[in-house]
Homo-oligomer: A and B are copies of this chain.
Amino acid sequence: MDDIRELKRVLHKENLRYTSQRKAVWDELCSSSDHRDAESIYLALRNSGIRVSRATVYRTIEVLVRHNMVRRLDLGDGRSRYENKLDPKHHDHLICLSCGRIEEFVDPDIEKLQEKVAEKHQFALRKHIHQLFGYCKDCQ
């Protein structure tokens, strides 16, 4: 139901084939705007009867990340999370150290200051990670 068109375009561009597994992984990533780990995507697909392997889940995510359709997050716990980037608004994350809840934030001032920092150090900025860790309202 989601931007299958975009998936097809990207696969076509890289001379990759449109397969049911690739479609299923992308659908699953679009089915919520959550921050999912690879295993949960794999299990969700298996549980809904789709025949797919872990290797394929990882391989597909790789393609999606490469084409900017999915963002990979590293929360420092040894498991990558993924979120779709259909909605192109950039955001960063607040992460609860107790319950794992993830909230998103955007702060244009911080974004601007980052660019200044990079300039000052003569770095050509490509991306950034900005994560605030603490205890959420419910966990304090």
Binds B, one of A20-28, A34-42, A50-58, A112-120: A112-120
Asked if A1 is an interface residue, CB under 8 A from chain B, the answer is: no
Interface string of A27-69 (1 = CB under 8 A from B): 0000000000000000000000000000000000000000000
| B125 lies within 8 A of A134 (CB) | yes
CB atoms of B135 and A126 under 8 A apart = yes
Q: Which residues of B contact A127 (CB under 8 A)?
A: 133-134
Pairwise interchain contact A117-B107, C-beta atoms closer than 8 A: yes
Interface string of A6-29 (1 = CB under 8 A from B): 000000000000000000000000
Residues of chain B within 8 A (CB-CB) of A131 are 128-130
- Number of A residues whose C-beta is below 8 Å from B? 33
Number of copies: 2
Judge if A103 is at the interface, Cβ distance under 8 Å: yes
User: With A and B bound together, what is the CA distance between A105 and B74 in angstroms?
Assistant: 21
The 4 closest A-B pairs by CB, nearest first: A122-B137, A125-B134, A123-B134, A124-B135
19 A-B pairs with C-beta separation under 8 A: A94-B118, A94-B123, A103-B121, A105-B117, A107-B113, A109-B109, A110-B114, A113-B113, A118-B132, A118-B134, A121-B136, A122-B137, A123-B134, A123-B136, A126-B133, A127-B134, A128-B132, A129-B129, A130-B131
